[in-house]
Amino acid sequence: MKKPGEFRVVNQSLPREDGVAKVSGSAIYASDIVLKGMAHAKLLRSPFAHARIAAIEASEAARQPGVFAVLTGGDLGALQPYYGHSVKDHPLLAIGTVRFLGEPVAAAIAEDERSAFEALEYVHVKYEELPAVMDVDAALADGAPLIHEAIHQDGAFRGFEEHRGAKSNICTAVHVEWGDIEAGFSKAAHVLEGEYYFPMAYAYAMEPYVAIADYNEKGLTVYSSAQHPFMVRHDLAAVFDLPLNRVRLVVPFVGGGYGSKSYTKIEPLVAACSWKAGRPVKLQLSVEEAFLTTRGDDARTWIRTGADSEGRLVARHAIIHMNTGAYAENSPLVAKKTANRIIGPYRIPNVKIDCYAVYTNTVPASSFRGFGAAPASFPAECQLEELAEKLGCDSVKFRLANLAERGESIHPGLRPLDADLKGDVRRLACTLEMDKPAPKGHGRALGCSASDAGSYPISSAIVQVYADDSVSVLSGSTELGQGSHTVLAQIAAEEMGVDLSKVRLVGSDTAIAPFERSTGASRTTTVMGRAVLEACREAIAQLLGMAAEVFGAKPEQVVEESGGVSFQGKRLTWGEVLHKYFRISDCNIIGRAYLRQAGDLAMLPPFWEIGCAGVEVAVDEETGVVRMEQLATVGDVGLAINPALAEGQDLGAATMGIGIGLFESLEYDGQQLANGSLLDYRVPRFSDLPRRVDLTLAQNQDGAGPYGAKGGGEGSLNPIPACVANAFYRAVGVRIRRLPLTPERVWRALKDRDK
């Protein structure tokens, strides 16, 4: 039997068959859906950013060879045609008005993709173009045209306190305040203020959006690349007015998400296509269409920070305007998290933050890896660096003097900090050799962040223990490539005392798996992992009672051991206990766990996700190219149940931060998204990665998850863009407050310096 706090590392190798690794999980099987006669759908998209649909004629398209049906906004009257977990403002297809260039206005459903695509040529739409607002300034200007005339119904998972009123393009307003901001600044010996811009970015999952829907008299079954299957199920049930038990959502392995596949995307539309055509329908978007589906919020931030004569932070005031795009999606919650996270992991006694999510006629914004922390950390960490310089203080020492201690509150009403951030920063500074001068033309910088992560701790899990000592775990979490199915299986193997090869993970099927709120906010290992652990322990409690009956002993006389029990020198495995108890070989029991916001999880967040990272860059002043020389991260994960996966997540997150810092930005040319393609949107390549990478895992077992684990899949992204900008300043003495640091932007800034 394990001692309290002891963690036995199980075999982490995956079972193999014919030299190919086998990973347990959900998959699409032909028997699960009627593939015979499945149709394919293609979408007609609006050529305007803002226009009224005066007329649409699709009858000629519906008569084309091989076409089963054409769906338009006018066909949706029998359904609830608007969805949205936050605000129900998003129509399945444009109804009356299109609000961004590329919004779907019709779907052709045919026996093959070519026939569907050709049918779109026969859909005739008459548009009346309306004035468009393409940025926050235009949307907030006096007399600006309204993106939404009506006040839409709140969704079931709001994530915001204040929704917009009439005659406004403000989707959400978030206000965070404590102390006395004016009194705080009056005590400041040094005050800095400035404006910063964080770019519009695309998460760039390798797999575009794809879904198969089968609507029939029995209900609705959808196969989708969704991160949050139960939230999507909720929206589908509302659209079609179906009970939850008649809506089934199955998620196979997903080819990446990074927030872009959070919540509902194309699932209601493909389900409506199946409803219209009377057969299963598949809708698969191209990469270019995926760019027109969702993106991250770009943000313009004015921020003011003050410190006293001893270098202690005394006040921070920030006004943040986020470009939410045409529909709310998850931007209300992103705005709330941005407002929380711009405070950082520092003690600041006087705070006033106003964050606004603003509707514009651009692609809708939503969740993006880091969830508002990177747009917040960029201005916050850059200004902290500037303030340290103004004080004549070393930036590392300045941070250490102001970072909160473990157990100290950094945000009134939220859980105290559960990490040794000062230790993380000291370790990082040593790795980067921050105390040594950098070579000429080089610069080093580090940064940190703390995110109120984990979402709401609502999860459930089922563990089945079989008489042959094998174990199944039923989980509603989605495998996105982050390795969560492996980690959850490891937790079950550890608790049940069996080899990992004996554990199967069955997941992401709402008809089979128990409820899971979401797969995001770095919560799966912490929250779902804890649910799996507690389900295992409930199963063990049942097995101990059965073993006592088998042995003819009192329950307290039976001794739990790894993988089984013993009594007076006799040992039985769990499978043998079941065999003897039921007197049959093919039997099993079920252990269950239900987590909610109660007990030690009553206070939010369930854990603080730490970002602690730094870089060294080299600047070519002739070309403006900024080259990464070194990347260093400290992954504060509590306990790395699978170190290789934890390091992979840390490096992946940091690499996305490098992309935003140096390359990535969606650019509009008038109303047209100019670089929404594989060729034009610049992401980091292997040649862009640093020559030296130092990944460190801080394992203090201080998390709320199994064995002290906590999430870490996003943290290292958050400070990296600020680190890039600060390291660039240290290299050449020029501050750039607008990302990314492209060669042209850098070259122009250097020319301005020389003038």
Q: Are residues 471 and 517 in the same domain?
A: yes
Condensed to tens digits (0 to 9), the pLDDT of residues 236-295 reads 999 999 999 999 999 998 999 999 999 999 999 999 999 999 999 999 999 999 999 999
Q: Is residue 345 part of a domain?
A: no
Label residues 423-441 b or e (16+ Cβ within 10 Å = b): ebbebbbebbebeeebeee
Q: What is the pLDDT of residue 100?
A: 98
As a whole number of angstroms, the distance between CA 522 and CA 526 comes to 8
Q: Within this chain, do residues 112 and 250 fall inside the same structural domain, yes or no?
A: yes
Q: Is the pLDDT of residue 229 over 80?
A: yes
Q: For residue 740, is the peptide bond before it cis, meaning its omega torsion is within 30 degrees of 0?
A: yes
Place of tokens 């008569």: 63
Mean of pLDDT values over 521-530? 93
In sequence order, the 6+-apart residues with CB closer than 8 A to the CB of 303 are: 193, 194, 195, 196, 316, 317, 318, 319, 342, 379, 380, 383
Strands (E), 118-277: 124-129, 170-178, 190-198, 210-216, 219-224, 247-250
- 429 in a structural domain: yes
Q: Which of 554, 584, 601 is the last residue of a domain?
A: 601
pLDDT tens digits, 446-476 = 999 999 998 889 999 999 999 999 999 999 9
Peptide bond into 605 cis (omega under 30): yes
Range of the domain at 407: 403-453+606-754
Neighbours of 482 (CB within 10 A): 23
Instruction: Say how many domains are in the chain.
Output: 3
Q: What is the pLDDT of residues 685-698, one digit of tens each?
A: 999 999 999 999 99
Distance (Å, whole) CA 295 – CA 482: 20
25: closest CA among 467, 462, 478? 478
pLDDT at residue 37, rounded to an integer? 80
Q: Give the CATH number, domain containing residue 627.
A: 3.30.365.10
Tell me the pLDDT band of 27, cut-offs 50, 70 and 90. Answer: very low
Query: What is d(CA 535, CA 482) in angstroms, rounded to the nearest whole number?
Result: 22
pLDDT digits (tens, 9 = 90+) for 659-687: 999 999 999 999 999 999 989 999 999 99
**367 occurs within a structural domain:** no
The rounded distance, in Å, linking the Cα atoms of 36 and 33 is: 9
Phi, psi at residue 558, to the nearest 5°? -85, 130
390: in domain = no
Whether 165 has a pLDDT exceeding 90, the answer reads no
Say if residue 560 is in the same domain as residue 643: no
Question: Shortest CA distance to 491 belongs to which of 537, 545, 541?
Answer: 537
Q: Which of 601, 616, 634 is the last residue of a domain?
A: 601
- Give 178's DSSP letter: E
**Is 732 inside a domain boundary?**
yes
The first and second tokens of residue 623, run together, are 């070309």
Look over the chain and give the mean of its residue pLDDT values, rounded to a whole number.
Answer: 92
* Contacts for 15 with CB less than 8 Å, ≥ 6 apart: 21, 22, 500, 501
Cα–Cα distance for residue pair 56/201, rounded to 1 Å:
33
Q: Are residues 632 and 693 in the same domain?
A: yes
Instruction: State the pLDDT at residue 363.
Output: 98
| Same-domain status, 468 and 571 | yes
Q: Tell me which DSSP letter residue 153 carries.
A: P
Q: What integer pLDDT is reported at residue 520 of this predicted model?
A: 87
Give the SS3 label for residue 495: helix
Whether residue 659 contacts residue 721, with contact meaning beta carbons closer than 8 Å, is answered with no
Reported as half-sphere exposure (CB side, CA atoms, 13 A), residue 196 has a value of 31
Helix (H, G, I), strand (E, B) or coil at 88: coil
Residue range 306-352, pLDDT digits in tens: 999 999 999 999 999 999 999 999 999 999 999 999 999 999 999 99
Same domain for 739 and 658, yes or no, is: yes
Task: Determine the average pLDDT of the residues in 394-410.
Answer: 96
Q: Are residues 210 and 109 in the same domain?
A: yes
Pairing of strands 67-72, 503-507: unpaired
Residue 419, helix vs strand vs coil: coil
Q: Which whole number is the average pLDDT over 219-223?
A: 97
Whole-number Cα distances in Å, 20 to 14, 17, 499, 505, 643: 10, 5, 19, 18, 22
Q: Average pLDDT, stretch 116-129?
A: 97
Residue with token string 């101990």: 544
What digits encode the pLDDT tens for the residues 607-621?
A: 999 999 999 999 999
pLDDT score for 539? 98
| Strand ranges in 218-361 using DSSP code E only, listed in sequence order | 219-224, 247-250, 281-284, 295-296, 298-307, 313-325, 351-359
| Range 8-25 average pLDDT | 35
Q: What predicted TM-score, i.e. pTM, was given to this entire model?
A: 0.93
Which parts of 418-550 are beta strand (E)?
Answer: 442-453, 459-466, 471-475, 503-507
pLDDT digits (tens, 9 = 90+) for 59-118: 999 999 999 999 999 999 999 999 998 889 999 999 999 999 999 999 999 999 999 999
Residue 672 sits in the same domain as residue 632: yes
Residues 91 and 226 grouped into a single domain: yes
Mean pLDDT of 572-578: 96
Order of strands, sheet of 607-620, starting from the edge strand that comes earlier in the sequence: 442-453, 607-620, 625-636, 692-698
What is each CA distance from 89 to 7, 224, 297, 540, in whole angstroms? Answer: 48, 22, 17, 47
Which CATH number does the domain housing residue 125 bear?
A: 3.90.1170.50
Please check whether residue 117 is in contact with residue 331, taking contact to mean a CB–CB distance below 8 angstroms. no
CA separation for the pair 696, 632 (Å, rounded) = 8
Neighbour-count burial of 556, counting CB atoms closer than 10 A to its CB (0-12 exposed, 13-18 middle, 19+ buried): exposed
Residues 571 and 633 in one domain: no
Q: Does residue 216 sit in the same domain as residue 67?
A: yes
Which range, of 5-9, 261-265, 359-363, 473-477, averages the lowest pLDDT?
5-9
The answer to whether residue 464 is domain-embedded is yes
Whole-number pLDDT of residue 755? 82
Residue environment code for 211-231, b if the CB has 16+ CB neighbours within 10 A, otherwise e: bbbbbeeebbbbbbbbbbbbb
Q: Tokens at residue 442, please?
A: 């080089």
Tell whether 558 and 666 lie within a shared domain. no
* Boundary-marking domain end, from 260, 291, 322: 291
pLDDT digits (tens, 9 = 90+) for 633-655: 999 999 999 999 999 999 999 99
In-domain check, residue 196 = no
Residue 585: CB atoms within 10 A of its CB come to: 11
Residue 332 lies in a domain: no
| pLDDT value, residue 150 | 80
Does 44 score more than 60 pLDDT?
Answer: yes
3-class SS string, 592-646: EEEECCCHHHCCCCCEEEEEEEEEEEEEECCCCEEEEEEEEEEEECCCCCCHHHH
Using CA atoms, how far apart are residues 459 and 488, in angstroms rounded to an integer? 13
Distance between CA 637 and CA 719 in Å, rounded? 16
| Res. 159 pLDDT band, cuts 50 70 90 | low
